[in-house]
């Protein structure tokens, strides 16, 4: 039996299988094989990348040399150009804008054979601190309106290099997906005078059915309306619209829950490809106090096909309640 569920934020509908959920071992995965050897992101290969922008490194070591634990470089093949000004214009009924922005790569570890899930909480804390540091720098550029932090793990998720890394893109516009969430959050707040994400966190902590793990500052859960099998959200318990404003204690808590969640996904689903995205408020669109930043993890276990593209519905073969149970137990069924 399937069930239709509606997302209270975006209004998106999904179809979830709640009686015969697909189990972790039943998905056909593209194996994640580590080839080893040198690559542009390995320690000792620093000259193979564009010049270093920023890094967390041992005292006394120089840029573009070994001795770093987290390193940020420009993307060698950027989606946007840092040079120039933003120019919006129209060609008849069509709107256009110059491709101005920034595209950076945050290399999470010098070790080629380690994924983010394999790092220690302290090492992940350094990675998150670098996310924050680069965000604080990029937001100062008046041309940029949104900072998108995302990770592609595995070829099926779009990773062109297997060495573990995250990307940050500064955009001169606010993406449609973000606008949908902002609109949904504002509408919900206007109707109930409460944050929809805060209400979601309270509901999940009360029900317990979809919660995977929680600590002082965060809760990880499979959302009630997941687009994808084993989709997982990590949401701050305290209301905050802006990721880059988090303090050091929150960074530490985030590192702990991200480590735990990714390790569970890797174990239960046998190291699937996945994407994760940090959703945060735009830079220059007012305060956006109705919004609540969060991180979404989407394992690549199924394909989006004609029905999804044609209807806007997503078909999820595994209910979030069953997925959360598997991840809580740390094993497939």
Q: Which residues are known catalytic residues?
A: 165
Q: How far is CA 50 from CA 81, 82, 101, 153, 328, in A?
A: 14, 14, 17, 22, 41
What residues contact residue 91 under an 8 Å CB cut-off, 6+ apart?
none
What residues contact residue 207 under an 8 Å CB cut-off, 6+ apart?
none
What residues contact residue 33 under an 8 Å CB cut-off, 6+ apart?
none
Read off the tokens for 48.
């193979």
193: which strand partners? Answer: none
Q: What are phi and psi of 326, to 5 degrees?
A: -60, -45
Query: Tokens 């570890």 correspond to what residue?
Result: 109
Q: What are phi and psi of 148, to 5 degrees?
A: -105, 115
CA distance 196 to 7: 11
End-to-end CA distance of the chain: 19
């Amino acid at each position: 039996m399937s069930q239709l569920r509606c997302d209270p934020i975006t209004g998106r509908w999904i179809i979830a299988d709640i009686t015969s959920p697909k189990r972790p071992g039943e998905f056909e995965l593209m194996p994640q094989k580590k080839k080893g050897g040198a690559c542009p992101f390995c320690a000792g290969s620093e000259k193979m990348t564009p010049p270093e922008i920023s890094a967390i490194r041992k005292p006394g070591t120089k840029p573009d040399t070994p001795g770093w634990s987290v390193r940020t470089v420009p993307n060698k093949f950027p989606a946007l150009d840092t040079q120039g000004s933003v120019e919006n214009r129209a060609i008849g009924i069509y709107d256009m804008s110059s491709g101005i922005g920034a595209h950076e790569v945050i290399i999470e570890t010098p070790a080629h054979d380690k994924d983010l899930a394999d790092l220690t909480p302290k090492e992940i804390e350094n990675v998150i601190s670098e996310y924050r540091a680069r965000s604080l720098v990029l937001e100062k550029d008046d041309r940029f309106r949104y900072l998108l932090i995302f990770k592609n793990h595995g070829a099926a998720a779009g990773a062109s290099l297997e060495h573990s890394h995250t990307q940050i893109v500064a955009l001169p516009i606010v993406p449609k997906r973000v606008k949908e969430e902002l609109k949904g959050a504002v509408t919900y707040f206007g109707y109930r005078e409460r944050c929809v994400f805060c209400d979601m966190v309270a509901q999940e902590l009360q029900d317990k059915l979809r919660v995977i793990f929680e600590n002082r500052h965060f809760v990880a859960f499979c959302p009630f309306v997941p687009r994808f099998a084993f989709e997982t959200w990590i949401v701050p318990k305290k209301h905050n619209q802006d990721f880059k404003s988090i303090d050091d204690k929150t960074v530490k808590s985030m590192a702990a829950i991200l480590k735990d969640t990714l390790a569970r996904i890797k174990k239960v689903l046998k190291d699937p490809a996945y994407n994760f995205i940090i959703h945060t408020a735009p830079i220059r669109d007012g305060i956006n106090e109705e919004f609540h930043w969060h991180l979404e993890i989407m394992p690549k276990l199924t394909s989006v096909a004609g029905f999804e593209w044609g209807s806007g519905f997503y078909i999820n073969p595994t209910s979030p309640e069953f997925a959360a149970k598997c991840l809580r137990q740390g094993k497939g069924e």
